[in-house]
């Protein structure tokens, strides 16, 4: 039997590149499609790289003609909450309109298996912790709304056209591949762990804590960090379920454990051995105090268990940052 061919849209990005490496290791034939707007060519570890934009349907058709694609994984989205508030058009155009282009081309070529990256931002301010998939969806920024719109579109496309999907709502994706070959690279960087590690490396003067007056044990926000390779493993389980005839499902992807910003900083100081400067400051707009996933559904249905601890997350991210 020929290996299944997976088209990874956004395979040159942070999560996409880890997905590509794992798919390749597991024997899939992997094609990367990326416009390199936020991705990096050197994060792509397979030969089949197709540069292209999702706005360009003819370019997409070329790729669908060239390869016999069995499933698509869609990681190509803009992800910065603050930017989405300042420039919502950019987010709706790419995360919604361009995603619809992709769905339309998939249907044109009768490719009906999709893995879609969504986000915990679809929930908005949590009413209950841990957050279940059935929690109210009330995103508080255009980024979260753009993802929720596609989730709804997917549901309609499944009903009308039989396009089956597995949708994953990520909590805080973090860490890097153990090899040190690929890792988190954003420009500008806005995420906590990379910023902390850049500070430990002396590339920044200090790490700024956004708010110390939250109603949490130490006053700082609590987040659910999940290793990028654990995410990638869940995606393959979701893919195999679709290949086995499973129907469309949406899953939270988090570790189910919460750590405060201060706890992350302290662990990072221990792992790096650097006593870098920490500045306690004002809250950042739009940060819920606590985000923790209820991941029981993905554990039960996909038999997924995260393997990486918080220590592993920071250790692998540090290994990557030190060498890049
Ligand atoms: N955070 C912080 N300082 C920073 C960046 C982030 O205190 O320089 C906090 C942020 O307020 C949030 C947590 O770290 O509570 C995680 O933020 P990040 O942007 O990494 O991910 P998010 O939870 O927003 O998806």
Digit-coded pLDDT (tens) for 239-276: 999 999 999 999 999 999 999 999 999 999 999 999 99
Average confidence (pLDDT) over 102-131: 97
pLDDT of residue 80: 92
Cβ 223 under 6 angstroms from ligand 1? yes
Query: In the prediction, which pLDDT does 29 show?
Result: 98
- Cβ(317) – ligand 1 distance below 6 Å: no
Q: Is ligand 1 within 6 A of the CB of residue 105?
A: no
Mutation probe of ligand 1 site: the residue of 284, 290, 293, 313 with most atoms within 8 A of C-beta: 284
Cβ 191 under 6 angstroms from ligand 1: yes
Q: What percent of the chain has pLDDT over 90?
A: 97
Across the range 192-220, mean pLDDT stands at 98
The reported pLDDT for the residue numbered 34 is: 98
Going 6 to 324 to 317 to 131, the CA torsion angle's sign is: negative
Residue-wise DSSP of 187-198: SS---HHHHHHH
Which tens digit of pLDDT belongs to each residue from 40-53? 999 999 999 999 99
Beta bridge partners of 51: 34
Residue 1 reports pLDDT greater than 90: no
Looking at the domain assignment, is residue 186 inside a domain?
no
Measure 108 CA to ligand 1 centroid, in angstroms.
40
Same domain, 218 and 89: no
d(CA 300, CA 136): 22
Residue 204 lies in a domain: yes
Determine the residue of 261, 289, 314 to mutate for testing ligand 1's pocket, defined as the one with the most ligand atoms within 8 A of the Cβ atom: 261
Of ligand 1's atoms, which has the minimum distance to the CA of residue 171?
25
Q: Using CA positions, which residue lies closest to atom 3 of ligand 1?
A: 209
**Neighbouring-strand partners of residue 259:** 223
pLDDT value, residue 262: 98
Q: CB–CB of 291/246 below 8 Å?
A: no
Q: Model confidence at 23, in pLDDT bands (50, 70, 90)?
A: very high
- 154 and 205 part of one domain: no
In the prediction, which pLDDT does 286 show? 81
**Are residues 14 and 148 located together in one domain of the fold?**
yes
pLDDT tier for residue 285 given thresholds of 50, 70 and 90: confident
Does residue 115 belong to any structural domain of this protein? yes
Q: Flag whether 185 is in a domain.
A: no
Mean pLDDT, residues 102-117 taken together: 98
Residue 288 belongs to some domain of the structure: yes
How confident is the model at residue 293, as a pLDDT? 98
Cα(116)–Cα(113) distance, integer angstroms? 10
Predicted pLDDT of residue 312: 98
**Any idea what the CATH number is for the domain that residue 157 is in?**
3.40.50.720
Is 143 a catalytic site residue? yes
Structural domains of the chain, count: 2
Whole-number pLDDT of residue 2: 86
pLDDT category of residue 12 using cuts at 50, 70 and 90: very high
End-to-end CA, the chain = 39
Active-site residue identified among 28, 33, 143, 157: 143
Number of the ligand 1 atom closest to the C-alpha atom of 210? 7
Expressed as residue numbers, the domain containing 204 is 192-224+256-323
Going by C-alpha positions, the residue among 258, 265, 264 that lies closest to residue 291 is 258
Mean pLDDT of the chain: 97
Examine the domain organization and report whether 140 and 70 are in the same domain.
yes
The rounded Å distance from CA 102 to ligand 1 centre is 31
**pLDDT higher than 90, residue 86:** yes
246 and 290 together in one domain: no
Dihedral (Cα; 59, 60, 61, 63), 10-degree rounding = 90
Asked whether residue 39 is domain-assigned, the answer is yes
Indicate whether 187 belongs to any domain.
Answer: no
In a shared domain, residues 109 and 122:
yes
Do residues 105 and 238 share a domain? yes
Same domain for 85 and 112?
A: yes
Co-location of 232 and 310 in the same domain = no
**Can you tell me the distance from the alpha carbon of 91 to that of 121, in angstroms, rounded to the nearest whole number?**
14
Predicted TM-score (pTM) of this structure: 0.97
**One domain for residues 232 and 198:** no
What pLDDT sits at residue 274? 98
Whether 242 and 310 map to the same domain: the answer is no
**Is residue 183 a part of any domain in this protein?**
no
Specify whether 234 is located in the same domain as 263. Answer: no
Which run of H or E residues covers position 30? strand 29-34
CATH classification of the domain holding 312: 3.90.25.10
Q: What is the pLDDT of residue 182?
A: 98
**Phi-psi map region of 51: left, alpha, beta (phi>0 left; psi -120 to 50 alpha):** beta
* Average pLDDT of span 62-78: 98
């Amino acid at each position: 039997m020929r290996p299944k061919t997976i088209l990874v849209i956004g395979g040159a990005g942070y999560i996409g590149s880890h997905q590509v490496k794992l798919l390749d290791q597991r024997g899939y034939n992997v094609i990367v499609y990326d416009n390199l707007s936020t991705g990096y060519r050197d994060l792509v570890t397979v030969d089949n790289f197709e540069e292209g934009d999702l706005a360009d349907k003819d370019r997409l058709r070329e790729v669908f003609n060239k390869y016999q694609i069995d499933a698509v994984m869609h990681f190509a989205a803009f992800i910065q909450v603050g930017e989405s508030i300042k420039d919502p058009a950019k987010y709706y155009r790419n995360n919604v309109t361009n995603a619809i282009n992709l769905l339309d081309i998939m249907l044109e070529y009768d490719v009906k298996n999709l893995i879609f990256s969504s986000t915990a931002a679809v929930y908005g301010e949590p009413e209950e912790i841990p957050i279940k998939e059935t929690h109210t969806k009330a995103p508080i920024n255009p980024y979260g709304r753009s993802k929720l719109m596609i989730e709804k579109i997917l549901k309609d496309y499944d009903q009308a056209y039989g396009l089956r999907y597995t949708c994953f709502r990520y909590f805080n994706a973090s860490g890097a591949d153990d090899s040190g070959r690929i890792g988190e690279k954003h420009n500008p960087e806005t995420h906590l762990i990379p910023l902390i590690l850049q500070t430990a490396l002396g590339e920044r003067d200090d790490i700024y804590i956004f708010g110390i007056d939250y109603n949490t044990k130490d006053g700082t926000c609590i987040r659910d960090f999940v290793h990028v390779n654990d995410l990638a493993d869940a995606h393959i389980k979701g893919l195999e379920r679709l290949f086995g005839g499973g129907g469309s499902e949406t899953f939270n992807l988090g570790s189910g454990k919460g750590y405060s910003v201060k706890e992350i900083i302290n662990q990072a100081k221990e792992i790096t051995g650097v006593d870098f400067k920490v500045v306690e400051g004002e809250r950042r707009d739009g940060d819920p105090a606590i985000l923790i996933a209820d991941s029981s559904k993905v554990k039960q249905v996909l038999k997924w268990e995260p393997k990486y601890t918080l220590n592993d997350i920071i250790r692998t991210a540090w290994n990557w940052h030190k060498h890049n």
